[in-house]
Amino acid sequence: GIFVGITSGATFAGGLRVAEKAPKGSNILCMLPDTGERYLSTPLFGGIEADMNEEELAISRSTPSAQLAAA
């Protein structure tokens, strides 16, 4: 996933709708105008724990390109 805000999600959904009707081989550009950072303190993230559980850690480990280097 990409950590974006609600406006970006709507923009991407609109891009997918355009892509469904676009000719094969078309390039569609969607500029995602916000991040999800401002929503962390809202009820949208209320049910999400700060630390990952074992299943989430396993998924994270299976994606080498998404690893953050330890400081």
- What is the pLDDT, as a whole number, of residue 16? 96
Count of other CB atoms within 10 angstroms of residue 50: 6
Distance CA 9, CA 36 (A): 10
- What is the pLDDT, as a whole number, of residue 61? 84
- What is the pLDDT, as a whole number, of residue 58? 86
With residue 53 as reference, give the H or E element that holds it.
Answer: none
- What is the pLDDT, as a whole number, of residue 62? 87
C-beta contacts of 56-61 below 8 A and 24+ residues apart: none
Encode pLDDT of 8-56 as tens digits.
999 999 999 999 999 999 999 999 998 888 888 888 888 888 888 899 8
Taking the model in full, what pTM does it have?
0.61
- What is the pLDDT, as a whole number, of residue 20? 96
